[in-house]
Amino acid sequence: MSRLAAHGLVREFRLPGRSRRHPLRAVSDVSLELHAGETVALVGESGSGKSTVARILARLDTPDAGTILLDGQPATPGRRGLRHHHRQVQIVFQDPFASLNPFHTVDHHLRRPLRLHHPALGRAEEDERIHHLLDRVNLVPAGRVAAAHPHELSGGQRQRVAIARALACRPGVLLADEPVSMLDVSIRLEILRLLDRLRAEDDLAVLYITHDLATARHFAHRILVMYRGELVESGPSDAVILDPRHPYTRLLAAAAPDPRRRGTSALAGPDLPVTRVEVPGGTDAGGCPFLDRCPQAMPRCRLRPPLVPLGGGRTARCWLHAADTDPAGSPPGPATTRPPAPPTARPDP
């Protein structure tokens, strides 16, 4: 059973200048599952809806449609339900500078969730837990760090405090929204390794939101690819990165820096056409969201593609893989056959 599951999430924002009938659909029919002990990476370009999904999963935002299940149970409404959810599902944000209050000590930041979620603890037990938490995120000596204010800490140390705070109430799910993108490159890996160790030690279900495909592949068991509010591809990390099936994932993989690759991308697949097929009006008409950028667009892409199971735990929302289920009966597209698999060496992120 999944620790946290979402089915058919939809989130729309009404924006000034847009008619009420055409809100911005930030998240569209997103379903996912997070399992204990597993890291799932959510990747996609800026504005694709990753943070909105995380906020909904953490119940910091309410979807317009869809359901959330925590340990198989529907999210309970009301304050008690919300508090239980917030105890079980914690989120670590991108910006360690903004997420800690500059007026309070580290001790205060860690003691607060303990008091909120474990009011029966005595002062001595709280102290013990705070020291243990700081130890776990390698902030030593714990006593000195606990007395420090955020401005006395480096970005990496602040993010360790944010992670310790997230773990204070012993959650089952950790949502990490670009947890290292604002940190110095030299310490990003340390923080990701720390998260990975904590995942293993606490059997956490982790959602790792990132733009970085190399670390997504290295640290995540599965990768979900998001484009304009939709999940367009999912599957085991190596498979998604080395053999991307959705044209958007192929472009993402092709754009990712790879030191072993010179010039053109080996990951794009040799059969990726260079010319685009013009199929106007598709996205507005509710068709494939990638239609206007897709190098393999076809007339049938004006219809919303189905989510196609590809075997091996993989899915892609793309007509290229759904020739047999095409309701319009149009001929199969040019790339219904799999491209040859690219090299399989694991990159060092």
Ligand X SMILES: Nc1ncnc2c1ncn2[C@@H]1O[C@H](COP(=O)(O)OP(=O)(O)OP(=O)(O)O)[C@@H](O)[C@H]1O
* Residues found near Mg ion in the complex (CB under 5 A): 51
By CB neighbour count within 10 A (0-12 exposed, 13-18 middle, 19+ buried), where does 207 fall?
Answer: buried
Q: How far is the CB of 321 from ligand X (least distance, A)?
A: 24
Q: Which range binds ligand X by CB under 6 A, 40-48, 65-73, 190-198, 254-262?
A: 40-48
Residue with smaller CB distance to Mg ion, 289 or 342: 289
Question: Rounded to 10 degrees, what is the CA torsion of 266, 268, 274, 279?
Answer: 180
Question: Site for ligand X (CB under 6 A): which residue of 51, 159, 234, 296?
Answer: 51
Q: How far is the CB of 147 from ligand X (least distance, A)?
A: 34
Residue with smaller CB distance to ligand X, 62 or 275: 62
Say how far apart CA 74 and CA 4 lie, in whole Å: 10
Question: Residue 304 carries which DSSP code?
Answer: P
The yes or no reply on residue 215 touching ligand X (CB under 6 A) is: no
Closest CA to 92 of 147, 142, 164: 164
The yes or no reply on residue 13 touching ligand X (CB under 6 A) is: yes
Q: Write the single-letter amino acid at 88.
A: Q
Question: Site for ligand X (CB under 6 A): which residue of 50, 158, 188, 300?
Answer: 50
The yes or no reply on residue 210 touching ligand X (CB under 6 A) is: no
Q: How many CB atoms lie within 10 A of CB 255?
A: 12
Q: Which range binds ligand X by CB under 6 A, 43-51, 74-82, 153-161, 260-268?
A: 43-51
Q: How far is the CB of 322 from ligand X (least distance, A)?
A: 26
* Edge-to-edge strand ranges of the sheet holding 39-43: 89-92, 173-177, 205-210, 39-43, 222-227, 230-236, 314-317, 307-311
Residue with smaller CB distance to Mg ion, 97 or 149: 97
Residue with smaller CB distance to ligand X, 32 or 279: 32
Residue with smaller CB distance to Mg ion, 176 or 288: 176
CB 109 within 8 A of CB 100: yes
Say how far apart CA 219 and CA 206 lie, in whole Å: 10
User: Which of Mg ion, ligand X, none does residue 159 bind to, with CB < 5 to 8 Å depending on kind?
Assistant: none
**What residues make contact with ligand X under the rule CB under 6 A?**
13, 15, 24, 26, 44, 46-52
